[in-house]
């Protein structure tokens, strides 16, 4: 017997240019381009992953633009989300503050059982790192969130990050 879980509206939130679209494209299409245009509004993408012989999880992902003017639009997408990635750029200090803002929003407005992963992107730029892994991990622990570091550019840890989220989703009866 096989079990297919659907994550309704897994969301990707965070400051503009932290790499939200790039992470989603790496996960869904296993590709990366340096010249991605800023997402306008929201893009909807799906990807299915197998977590064991009997279980697959279908991610239905809203890649929401992080720009201020789309803020009210974004809340429409995360209200029913079962999972959310809140992304920051490990080379941009302010992007972690923005991630904190999104986490607060999610905790106020989303389902109380939403699985939230704090994701530090651009791991390939380790030499330019401004936010230490310990600092981000400690922050995630404090709020009871998963923490992952990824690179959309090289693909490092992107699939594993989604897989870890999938493993935390409540199984449907
Ligand atoms: P979004 O606005 O958060 O959706 O960000 P984008 O996905 O459009 O990416 C913003 C910029 O960062 C683009 O120039 C990307 O090519 C670049 N970028 C995204 N992810 C990575 C990464 O993992 N490493 C590096 N070096 N650049 C990245």
Rg (CA), the chain: 15
- Per-residue pLDDT tens digits for 85-114: 999 999 999 999 999 998 998 888 888 889
Which run of H or of E encompasses 78?
A: helix 71-78
- Per-residue pLDDT tens digits for 31-40: 898 865 666 6
Counting atoms of ligand 1 from 1, which one is nearest the CA of 152? Answer: 23
Q: Which residues line ligand 1 (CB under 6 A)?
A: 16-22, 34, 36, 38-39, 66, 121-122, 124-125, 151-153
pTM listed for this prediction: 0.90
Q: Ligand 1 atom 11: the closest Cα is on which residue?
A: 17
Largest separation between any pair of C-alpha atoms in the chain: 48
Three-state SS annotation for 39-60: CCCEEEEEEEEEEECCEEEEEE
Cβ(10)–Cβ(59) below 8 Å = yes
Q: Tokens 């840890």 identify what position?
A: 157
């Amino acid at each position: 017997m096989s079990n297919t879980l659907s994550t309704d509206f897994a969301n990707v939130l965070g400051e503009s240019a932290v790499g939200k679209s790039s992470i989603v494209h790496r996960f869904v299409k296993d590709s990366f381009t340096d010249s991605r245009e800023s997402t306008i509004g929201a893009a909807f993408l799906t990807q299915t992953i197998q977590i064991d012989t009997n279980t697959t999880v279908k991610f239905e992902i809203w890649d929401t633009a992080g720009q201020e003017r789309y803020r009210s639009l974004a809340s429409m997408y995360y209200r029913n989300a079962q999972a959310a990635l809140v992304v920051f750029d490990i080379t941009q200090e302010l992007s972690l503050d923005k991630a904190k803002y999104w986490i607060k929003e999610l905790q106020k407005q989303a389902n109380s059982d939403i699985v939230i992963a704090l994701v530090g992107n651009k791991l390939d730029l380790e030499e330019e790192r401004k936010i230490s892994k310990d600092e981000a991990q400690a922050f995630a622990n404090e709020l009871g969130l998963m923490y992952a570091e990824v690179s959309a550019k090289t693909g490092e840890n992107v699939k594993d990050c989604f897989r870890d989220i999938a493993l935390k989703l409540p199984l449907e009866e």
